[in-house]
Structure 1
């Protein structure tokens, strides 16, 4: 009888332990399922947020592209307006008998074409004003080939030199400035060409040649604006030697 009681008690203990262990496993499984559900929800939320951020980035890129296109249109309009203003200054200044800030620097031997500069010259000068120096050089050369005896031929050659000077192509700039005085000695751009020849020679580390040209300019055209600038440059060079 005692043996039977012990057996029954042992069976109950084993059964109770098994039930308790099963309860623990059930709770752990439930906890794991809850955690997995939370992770799934978090993953879903993150995916949605990433999609939203991606859409926002795409929209921002589209807005930037549109603004870039608008900015380029504004710049193109500004360049066109600048070219038109420059052309009008070139046309109005000789007719009004006043020096233009851009074109007519010296009054000696100013161009006197009744109808103003030819259209080809104005187009070339517009390209120069828009800083399109390569195209401007080609346009000025085409103008010289078509109008070699024009009152503006010396001016065109001078602006070819300015185009090269602006691009730091100093040897070609010097050649163009030198040819202005040689081919068109009566041109109103001779003083300015001599001045820029001096500047170019200083840039080429040839101060003695530069000094000779600027002194010649000051002596030949003493009242010209170019001569005043030449004297200033000579004085600055002299002060550096002291």
Structure 2
């Protein structure tokens, strides 16, 4: 009986161990599986959050770059306007010196016994170049009257028909190129770009030896640029720089050309 008792006891012990093992297995599987699943969900959420942050940062960088580009364009435009105004002021001062010289010339001629007026006079800066003036006093007076309306009286609106009338009455005047340029400038300032472009085109096409031709080319290109004809504007800017590389107009044309080149 003793061996049977021992065998019976061993059987009970084995059964008890199997029961304990059977009961523990589910507990281990559940407790071990739960943190792995939670960890997987947390990693996915972190990736999504990281992608959102990267996308937001990229958009912010794009916006900042666009703003910087806009500010740079505005600075370039203001710089061009400043240079243009400086150039225009120098042109006005030069023209005023010419007018004062013309006044002195007329006073001197009036004191002479004859009424003959020389065809040319030396420029006030003493350079070898000469400024042509007409022998027709009526023509001189008409031109001076139109110019004085701009320089002295500041009556820009009223000066437009004066230059138009001068160009119609004296189409072959020695002042013709200047008169067309002044008229184009007045129309440009007024915003009548098409008419202004026509006047500048007259100077460029019909007066190749005029001192105003390079200025007229600059203004003609600016007209085309303002009217969104960038191809024409680029061509005129390049032509201006090639033909008058050392001129003030070319220096003003270069930054404008750079701003619209692809």
Normalised by the length of structure 1, the TM-score is: 0.53
Matched with 1:213 is 236
Matched with 2:148 is 126
Are the counterparts in 2 of residues 110 and 188 from structure 1 also a CA contact under 8 Å?
Answer: no
Q: 1:111 aligns with which of 110, 131, 135?
A: 131
How far has the Cα of 1:237 moved from its partner?
A: 2.8
How far has the Cα of 1:114 moved from its partner?
A: 7.5
Are the counterparts in 2 of residues 120 and 143 from structure 1 also a CA contact under 8 Å?
Answer: yes
Stretches of structure 1 that go unaligned for 5 or more consecutive residues are 1-84, 100-106
Q: Work out the number of aligned pairs and report it.
A: 148
Q: Mapping of 1:1-242 within 5 angstroms?
A: 88-92=96-100, 95-98=122-125, 111-113=131-133, 118-129=140-151, 130-238=153-261, 241=262
Q: Which has the higher contact order (CA 8 A, sep 6+)?
A: 1
Normalised by the length of structure 2, the TM-score is: 0.49
How far has the Cα of 1:166 moved from its partner?
A: 0.8
RMSD (CA atoms) = 3.0
Please give the alpha-carbon distance, in whole angstroms, between the structure 2 residues aligned to 1:109 and 1:207: 36
Stretches of structure 2 that go unaligned for 5 or more consecutive residues are 1-92, 102-120
Please give the alpha-carbon distance, in whole angstroms, between the structure 2 residues aligned to 1:108 and 1:229: 26
Are the counterparts in 2 of residues 218 and 227 from structure 1 also a CA contact under 8 Å?
Answer: yes
Aligned residue for 1:111, secondary structure, equals strand
Are the counterparts in 1 of residues 185 and 196 from structure 2 also a CA contact under 8 Å?
Answer: yes
- Residues 109 and 151 of structure 1: is their aligned pair in 2 closer, same or farther, counting only changes over 3 Å? farther
Matched with 2:77 is none
How far has the Cα of 1:228 moved from its partner?
A: 1.3
